[in-house]
Chain A
Amino acid sequence: MNDCDELWRWWTAELSPETCSQVALSRLLRSVRSSEERENCARVMCCPIAEQDPELLRRLLRAKDRMDAASHEAWPVQRLAQVSNVSEAHFARSFKEAFGVPPHRYLLTRRIERATALLRETDLAITEIAFQTGWASLGTFGRIFRDITGESPRSMRIRARTAESDPGRVPHCVLSAAHRPDLTIAVLEKRRRARRGKKSA
């Protein structure tokens, strides 16, 4: 017998939403064997507390950490799903639910963060920075960099250097994360909005 069916019957027969406390329901959901099935159950029941299993979250975090450690590498969903030990379909959905952005967009923010740091702190050529941070072409790098930060790599470099301040005693890795672009909408959507804005202006 399927766990989900069983839950569903139990839910419809035994309980009304009013009598089912959130805690009882979440405890019940946690008793379902796999996290995938649990998520399905939560969706079927339109459960308001489709809380993610901490064990699953920890494994998703591992995939996020791996992207952090090597953001210049290619991270297709298949590779990430393997790190987290979940199915591909499940991975993309769960990652977004856990961290608020889809995995590929998270990767973009990390690449831009790294590129920004390299622009600010090194004299590497922009082509070299594009290559080092994982872009196959300078054109794509420049376009996406502009879409996300609102300025070109070159002007960002100039501005960052003139506004240079002493980072003092903040650990470097923490400081860098604080400067990560906040990419809450898709790059394409950002581009579309900018275009619309320009037209209406």
Chain B
Amino acid sequence: MSDGVEMMGLYVRDQDEALKFYVEKLGFRVHTDVRNGDYRWLTVQHPQQPSFQLGLFVPGPPVIDEATAQSVRAIVAKGAMPPLVMTVTDCRATCEVLKKKGVELTQEPVERYGSVDAGFRDPSGNGWKLIQARKAQ
């Protein structure tokens, strides 16, 4: 066990929808899914990265007030949250798989300086970049 970042949260508009997307389309696994009244703590994991969790949370009371939650929903829907990056070994192949599953790419794979990147969004508007690193010379 070493020190490090264990979980990072994303705001999503609907946890069921997000769960479906991250598990069925991206191949993530559910790590924790617990409810406490209306509150639902939901985290998923990349299958090859057991030490890191991605939290999928809906903004709202009691954690944040309704007016703030509405602003947050708007910010996410406008795609104004910072980009998320996923490392892939074969960007083009991953894109093909995603497209077959119905994921709409916001950017088709492009090769730049030996690395290949592409982009897509989750249903809420969070933007992902898929980056295939340049091969070591």
The interface residues of chain A lying within 8 Å CB-to-CB of B121 are 61, 65
A23-B67, A172-B113, A174-B83 given as contacts; is B74 within 8 A of A51 (CB)? yes
Of the listed residues A22, A54, A60, the one surrounded by the most CB atoms of chain B closer than 10 A to its CB is A54
The interface residues of chain B lying within 8 Å CB-to-CB of A64 are 79
A-B contact count (CB 8 A): 62
Stretch among B18-26, B35-43, B124-132 lining the A interface: B124-132
> Does A68 contact B107, Cβ atoms closer than 8 Å?
yes
Interface check B99, CB cutoff 8 A = no
Q: Which of A26, A98, A172 contacts B70 (CB 8 A)?
A: A26
The interface residues of chain A lying within 8 Å CB-to-CB of B93 are none
A51 to B71, CA, bound (A): 8
Chain A contact surface mostly = helix
Flag A171-184 by CB within 8 Å of B: 1 or 0 each.
11110000000000
Flag B103-118 by CB within 8 Å of A: 1 or 0 each.
0111110001101010
Interface check B92, CB cutoff 8 A = no
> Does A171 contact B77, Cβ atoms closer than 8 Å?
no
Q: Which of A99, A171, A173 contacts B78 (CB 8 A)?
A: A99
Of the listed residues B13, B74, B117, the one surrounded by the most CB atoms of chain A closer than 10 A to its CB is B74
